[in-house]
Structure 1
Amino acid sequence: MNFNTLTIVDCFLILFGLSIIYATTPATKTTTKSIVSCPNDQQVCGSTCYSPINQTCFNNNQLCSIGQGICNSTCYSPQVLSLPNTVCLNNNILCYQGQKLCGTACYNDYYYGISLSQNSTYYNWSVILYGDGSINYGSICFNNRLICQYGQLLCGNNQCYNSSNQTCFNDQIVCTIGQMICNTTCYYNASQICYNNSILCYFGQSLCGKTCYYTSYQICYSNNYVCSSGYSICGTTCYYSWWNEQICYNGNTLCYSGQSACGTTCYNPYSQTCYNNQILCTIQWNLCGSTCYDPNQQICYLNSIPCTIGSSLCNLTCYNKITQTCYNNTTLCPIQYKPCGNKTCYYPQGQICNGTTVSTKI
């Protein structure tokens, strides 16, 4: 086309065509800050496109449905059909409207429009019926961490109790009215007895150390062990001594009839021998130090080391004179070998000893 010869009609047609192209191109909305392109009917929330008709953007990073609010990072609906309105307390905890926070828990502190406090004198207290059918008793918050029903009192720092049928002991234990306390346990003194303020027993029982027992058919030994009547005590074991099936040695070792005691071990004297009341050996064996040995096959050196008959001793080690030689009572070498230093043996026919080093002859 020769632009020098354009007519008025040509110019009109060109402008008309450009307007058609522009009208059929989708419109976009660009934000350089978030580098996010959204259609014209949408907006940017953080890095996400959203429709303001259906959603609300909070803090430029949280999307919630229209009509919802945000509490901490949670979307919530302030009004729900048949339920109390929801509110966000301290921008962190969701509660029903009219509730308060006790630490991180929601509670109701009112009844019939009366606001209750920790020092309130109102004790006749009923319920509030919510639209969801739940019954929420009015409550009181102690120390901003413990919720009790109104009319209750605080026992210590961690328990609620009803003074009409409960009692608080030592500011820490809650018992039923009429009960007493034994250490940390509630009990009825009509059927139980507390010993030393720590152990509960039933009527008819006495205390044996820390154990309850019936004196009518049990016996307490050394204020520590309970056995049935007719039984004796051997160490920590109850046994029936009348039948002579068992014998108690030294007051602590219970053995069967026919056995003896070696220290605290029962043994058969027909097959074993007890040495020094602590070591058991096979019958006819002797003791060498702390080791049992057979005198028919071994000999005891220095009253501590048993060796095979025919063996000798070299530096507390048994050895055979036929196959070994002992040098200076310190070093054992095979026959025809000699010591090189104190620990190494060498063969003179093919090796050389230089101080403590052995090398092969060249």
Structure 2
Amino acid sequence: MNGADTAWIIVATALVLFMTLPGLALFYGGLVRARNVLSVFMQCFAIACLMSVLWLAFGYTIAFGDGNAYWGGLGKAFLNGVGADSLSGTIPEILFFAFQMTFAIITPALIVGAYVERISFGFVMTFSGLWMLLCYAPVVHWIWGGGLLAGGEGALFADAVNDFAGGIVVHETAGLAALVIAVVLGGRRKKNVPPHNPGFVMLGAGMLWVGWFGFNGGSQLAADGGAAMALTVTHLSAATASLTWAAWERIKYGKASLVGMVTGTIAGLASITPASGSVGPIEALIIGGIAGIMCQEMCWVIKEWLNIDDTLDVFAVHGIGGMFGIIMLALFGHASWTAQLGGLVVVGVFTLVVTFVLVKLVALVFPIRVSEEDEITGLDLASHGERAYDHAS
């Protein structure tokens, strides 16, 4: 065990949890109407709790167990055989478990942005738990657990997919799942309502930005120059994407909005995530600069051209951003085109199929959508019996 590596990953684990609670909750909560803000907080918080328990029970062993190329088996269910003295590289395996648990928390939580203001809480919890175990955890095993896409003997491609911190594992899977749910669920009754609290959105984005240092820097699993470079390029991509989003917004509409600029921040962070272990500062500027404009245009494509109410732009920002970063790794010569594109396709098809099947199955037990009356009232009161403000609009 290396003490410095262990100390850094303990910090990184806290930072990644901080991304969901309270970062993502505030970011998403500020974007919805006042009558639905507590429902978003509740969804993010409850998902964090449920994923933690499920990751202990079955998620970790499916992702990192000693199974086969397709899944890790059940040998490490409930951390069987993992104690305080067990090592994973230079850090305690229990710490590696905890670090990866925070990834398993934020990935289904990202999907929340696609279905806010109109979905039943029972559906959210059941779907999120099953999706993490049956979609997310196997993909983790394929890429990070030595499985199907990790290269070498028995793998689909000779070269390993280069996905340092989750362009495919986190962002593509969450983005595509969000798209499927948005299509099946249908749009809100009242669209194009301004965010009720842009200040929350900015605070949440700031927390996500800081937390992302643990997300990407921690993925080095060591306290070394690689972690420092990952942290630095993460910051540079986020800063550049924020500026290009705001500049493009001003060119198009005459004004640059706060909500737009911080959404650009998230686009830059998602795009650099898979590349942060390989690229340098100049490449990070290029990735972030393009992401700020590309993801903004994709928001229009999804909502206006395709008429899909992916309410808080999960696919356009996270899905497109993460996949873009995967492709840029091949373009910059840091990875094989075959592995990168092949990984995107294999995981993409798997995610679409598993998500669609789960949505249909869970909807047989829990209604996917709340009643029209509850949607008008707002989910804060209708689903949770609480209200964030005296006069919620």
Q: Give the TM-score category using the shorter length.
A: under 0.3
Bigger relative CO (Cα 8 Å, ≥ 6 apart): 2
Which is greater in Rg? Answer: 1
TM-score in terms of structure 1 length: 0.15
Structure with higher strand content? 1
